[in-house]
């Protein structure tokens, strides 16, 4: 079964940028859609973005990040990236990636192989 590890989080000022990485091991990476979620203190984990399994596959985003975040994948490197621009304090959260055997699906219950998360903190 695919297992994922996130990296790239950190502290950034509002308006800044970060790029998160999600590296996979086990399973067949290219068969899964990969999604990013985030969880802020005291809040439920929420969908951020996902990308379908073919290289260059379609991507979809939460309304709150459209136009600011870009998800991409490199199946040769078994890695998915989340480029985050124009960051806001409300983007502060632990960011997780996970795999979904279904395309175009945001349901958190369908995602597997959750990583430990990476902290993103945006200061005002």
| C-alpha to C-alpha distance for 14 and 113, rounded to whole angstroms | 31
The predicted pLDDT at position 118 comes to 98
pLDDT at 104 over 90: no
Q: CB–CB of 8/21 below 8 Å?
A: yes
The predicted pLDDT at position 56 comes to 63
pLDDT category of residue 54 using cuts at 50, 70 and 90: low
Using a CB cutoff of 8 Å and minimum separation of 24, what contacts does 41-44 make?
A: 43/93
pLDDT tens digit string along 25-34? Answer: 887 877 889 9
The predicted pLDDT at position 70 comes to 97
| C-alpha to C-alpha distance for 8 and 82, rounded to whole angstroms | 9
The predicted pLDDT at position 55 comes to 55
pLDDT category of residue 43 using cuts at 50, 70 and 90: very high
Q: Percent of the chain at pLDDT above 90?
A: 79
18: Cβ–Cβ under 8 A, 6 or more apart, which residues?
8, 9, 10, 12, 84, 87, 120
Mean pLDDT value across residues 45-64: 89
Residue 103 has φ and ψ, to the nearest 5°, of -85, 160
């Amino acid at each position: 079964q695919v297992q994922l590890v996130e990296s790239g989080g950190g502290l950034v000022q509002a308006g800044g940028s970060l790029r998160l990485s999600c590296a996979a091991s086990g399973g067949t990476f290219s068969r899964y859609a990969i999604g990013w979620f985030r969880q802020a203190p005291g809040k439920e984990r929420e969908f951020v973005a996902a990308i379908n399994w073919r290289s260059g596959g379609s991507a979809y985003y939460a309304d709150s990040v459209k136009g600011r975040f870009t998800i991409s994948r490199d199946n040769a490197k078994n890695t998915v990236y989340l480029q985050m621009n124009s960051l806001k304090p409300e983007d502060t959260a632990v960011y997780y990636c996970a795999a979904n055997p279904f395309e175009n699906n945001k349901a958190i219950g369908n995602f597997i192989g959750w990583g430990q998360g990476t902290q993103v903190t945006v200061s005002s």
